[in-house]
Copies of this chain bind each other. A is one copy, B any other.
Amino acid sequence: MSQPADQREISVAVSTVILALLPGACGTRRVHLPLVRRTRQPFQDRWALPGGWVCPDESLSDAGRRTLAETTGLRPSYLEQLYTFGRPDRSPTGRVLTVVYSALVRSHEAAAATEGENVRWCAADDATGLAFDHDEIVRYALWRLRTKVEYASIALHFLDETFSMAQLREVHEAVLQRPLDPANFRRHVEATGTIVPTGERLTGTRHRPPRLYRALVPAGSPGPFAVAGPPS
């Protein structure tokens, strides 16, 4: 199984798409992702997804975790493999394949990112003009997220352990970028059976404090992107 010499010309990288709901310019929450400014050619000074090369003894997901932490300080509890991008011309300096990992993180986890001159959170729909084919990767990740958000358990990855129905609806509205009818939304979510009332109510509101709910699925269970894969 020795490979032909030219086969070695493909290099292997990982990239990460980390999604969080953060307040946008006008105050409403939107899906954001961390970007890293490139300090080297190619695409020097352009924004890119966090990532880097895979070390020889490192699993692909470990490489995703390591390069994400090194560039942004983020350490999500799990990463899921999203897709492998390998178009022959996706890098101008030779053939590079990138295995993309993704995670949804809560706002307080997003705050762990070391924002600075070379790291920033960007509204995902505004993330264009990125290095390599990263525009395409971001669009694909958003499309997957929006396709999957119909399953209520996806949105739970953006929320704290307990939440009101309005908070859950707000996540769906932010992901889908359209208002949802509160009564229809409640009926739909209750029909899915993925959340249960905790018996508590939200404090700090003036009258009729809303009920709190929690997920039936345990935290850290299979994540947002379609199905979880085997570790690799």
**Chain A residues engaging chain B, CB cutoff 8 angstroms:** 1-4, 6-12, 40-42, 53-60, 81, 83-88, 91, 93, 95-97, 99, 136, 140, 143-144, 147, 226-227, 229-232
Contact = CB atoms under 8 A, between A and B. Distances in A.
Contacts of A40: 1
Contact of A3 (B2, B11, B84): B11
Chain copies in the assembled complex: 2
Given A7-B12, A7-B55, 17 more contacts: A1-B42, A1-B96, A2-B93, A3-B53, A3-B96, A7-B56, A8-B8, A10-B54, A12-B12, A56-B95, A60-B84, A60-B86, A60-B97, A81-B83, A97-B99, A140-B230, A144-B227
25 contacts: A1-B41, A1-B42, A3-B11, A3-B53, A8-B8, A9-B56, A10-B12, A10-B54, A12-B86, A56-B88, A57-B88, A58-B88, A59-B87, A60-B97, A81-B83, A83-B232, A84-B84, A84-B232, A85-B232, A136-B230, A140-B229, A140-B230, A143-B227, A226-B226, A226-B227
